[in-house]
A and B are shown apart, each in its own frame.
Chain A
Amino acid sequence: MRDANYQKDKKTESGLKMLKRSPTAVIGLVIVLIVIFCGIFAPWISPYDPIKTDLYSRLKAPDKDHWLGTDKLGRDVLSRIIWGARVSLKVGVISVGIGMIIGVIIGLIGGYFGGITEKAIFSLVDLMLSVPPLLLALAIVATLGPGIGPVMTAVGISLIPIFARVARGSVLTVKEQNYVVSARALGASHLDIMLRHILPNILTPVIVMATLYCAFAIIMEAALSFLGIGIQPPEPTWGTILSHGQQHMRTAAWISTFSGLAITITVLGFNLLGDGLRDLMDPNMRHVIQTK
């Protein structure tokens, strides 16, 4: 027990130490935590109601009442951006969840069984990869119609082939390891081997990918909403705020500037965190970081 605790302490300590060695990952983590905080506590921290119109204060430049100005219906831009974090995170997490769960299952089955199963599954995966992701998402939203559900489904589906490939790649390495071979020799069932022996050992690259693709999903949602085929008004999302801001670029540049900045900073946060995690988890890169 003591030994286990010692191991655990050692692991946490080295984790923190390594995080310290990668300041960009820490910056990414802080940004992501701030966005999560905004998303969760939006009703309490946003100064105004994000969809309440106030025609007396239309298109007001940033001042002490409205820190980031107001839009054409007099709605507070800061409040809309804070609420927008909620939508972005929801879409990011759920669509990456959809892509990750289905992708990993497909990758696990294909990689583990190999042969004709793998060929059949991965010819479909490669086919999905032959259409650029935004186009695939556009096509799916075109058939399902606009709204948050279709957007999450569309982005999630367009992520499936990416996760499936990453998962398969890791499965191919892990399934040749001695512990998997011994489990098979001991008579463990396929399901048991896949879930208990392989899955836990392929999660690291999958989690790194999930962090990086959260950024991708957030940009995709914003793009679809920006084009007017994603989430519909009055729901405040960064994409729709930006799209409305585009109509007032000449007179009220702050609307598009700040909403775009919110997307950029959030995406930057996820990218930094994902890159940092990848470097920390890859033993070769860890060596590079430590010797810097």
Chain B
Amino acid sequence: MTYIIKRLLLFIPTLIGVITLVFLILHAIPGSPATRVLGEFATAESIAEFERRLGLDRPLIEQYIDFVTSYATGDFGESYRTGEEVIDQLALELPYTLHLVTAGMIIAIIIGVGLGIVSAIKPNSLLDNIGRIIALLGVSMPVFWSGMILIILFGLKLGWFPIIGAGDTGDVPDILHRLVLPAFTVGFLTSGVIMRMTRSSMLEVLDQDYIRTAFSKGLADTIVYLKHALKNAAIPIVTVIGLSFGGLLSGTVLTETIFARHGLGKFLVDAILWKDYPAAQGCIFVISLMFLVINLITDLIYGVLDPRIRHA
């Protein structure tokens, strides 16, 4: 219990830190954001008006405190481009990204852990080599290219899946149908890292005496591999799954752009291209928050998997 409370308390300063980082994005570099938004030919009056309207003419520390308090209360400001509340726009985009992230991670875990176990059971076999090549391709292929190849093959040539958009809300079969290619794109990217860790972690565990004992007392192979070996090899695998969420979220930004899907990633790229700073800041904050929450969950899972951590 103390472990959980300790870990939860640590979350608060990190959150304030991320808000500070997001604040700095707009303010850390020389020159006013007004000049960046309005262009270099903007008149002094229009710049002054812009700064006054957004409160950018106030002392920096005042702006910072204001920024942190509004972020803490869920007020991300108004979008420069549409004038709408950023939080409302983000709430509309979030479900699409969550769909993609969840589906992508499920695919990554199935491919990564599955291939990793198979490779570790028979190291240096043909199957192991094929698995390792797939893993290497997973980490080496840029996600925006593998996505395009899937579009060309399964969307344009074979016509099995739609290639653009995320589907209408409520139409579940359509949403799932449109999710297949993007989810495989991000899932494949992440599966390589998970496969490598599963393989090496399993190889280490399979070498232990208790595995030999389990085999010699006549237990079925599946039980030994899944119950005895995988459970003990799980901590590094869970760590790498938690860590690879960062890559997965980055992959999502790119994948949403390739498949012209709604979502936080596409929203962020558009906000940056339109120099819509409040929207970009809000979006970066929400994606980082997702990453932080996932890291928190990973740490809590450690406690469940390894009692030594829980009681440390």
Contacts and interface: CB of A to CB of B under 8 A. Distances in A.
B208 interface: no
A127 interface: yes
A227 to B, nearest CB: 5
Contacts of B17: 123, 127, 130
A130 B140 CA distance: 23
A100 B280 CA distance: 28
20 contacts: A128-B21, A131-B18, A132-B246, A132-B249, A132-B250, A133-B250, A135-B268, A142-B272, A143-B26, A143-B28, A223-B142, A228-B273, A242-B145, A256-B148, A256-B152, A257-B149, A264-B140, A264-B142, A268-B136, A271-B139
B292 A130 contact: yes
Contact of A127 (B14, B246, B295): B14
Interface string B133-151: 0001101111111001101
Nearest to B27: A143
Contacts of A250: 156
Interface in A12-43: none
Contact of B272 (A123, A222, A229): A229
Given A132-B246, A223-B254, A226-B144, 20 more contacts: A123-B17, A127-B21, A133-B250, A135-B249, A135-B287, A138-B272, A139-B22, A141-B272, A142-B272, A142-B280, A144-B29, A145-B36, A222-B142, A223-B142, A223-B143, A242-B145, A260-B144, A260-B148, A264-B140, A292-B124
A139 B280 contact: yes
A250 B21 CA distance: 42
Contact of B148 (A141, A249, A272): A249
Interface string A215-237: 10001001100111100000000
B18 A132 contact: no
Nearest to A126: B14
A94 B101 CA distance: 32
Contacts of A193: none
Contact of B141 (A130, A246, A256, A264): A264
A90 B142 CA distance: 18
Contact of B246 (A133, A223, A256, A257): A133
A263 B143 CA distance: 11
A161 B244 CA distance: 16
Classify chain A's interface size: 35 or more
A249 B14 CA distance: 43
B257 A249 contact: no
Interface of A: 123, 126-128, 130-135, 138-145, 215, 219, 222-223, 226-229, 242, 245-246, 249-250, 253, 256-257, 260-261, 263-264, 267-268, 271-272, 292
Contacts of A141: 272
B185 to A, nearest CB: 13
Contacts, number: 123
A249 B141 contact: no
Interface string B3-41: 000000000001001101110011011000000100000
B89 to A, nearest CB: 17
Give the one of B277, B288, B292 with max A CB within 10 A: B288
Q: Which 9 A-B pairs have the closest CB atoms?
A: A260-B145, A134-B250, A132-B246, A268-B140, A127-B17, A142-B272, A267-B140, A139-B25, A131-B288
Contacts of A271: 136, 139-140
Contacts of A130: 14, 17-18, 288, 291-292, 295
Give the one of B142, B247, B280 with max A CB within 10 A: B142
A127 B268 CA distance: 21
Nearest to A268: B140
Given A130-B14, A260-B148, A142 B142 contact: no
B194 interface: no
B269 interface: yes
A69 B84 CA distance: 46
Nearest to A267: B140
A132 B140 contact: no
Nearest to A215: B140
A249 B269 CA distance: 21
A99 B208 CA distance: 39
Given A142-B25, A250-B156, A260-B142, A135 B284 contact: yes
Given A130-B291, A268-B136, A263 B142 contact: yes
Interface in B189-242: none
A242 B144 contact: yes
A256 B145 contact: yes
Nearest to A270: B140
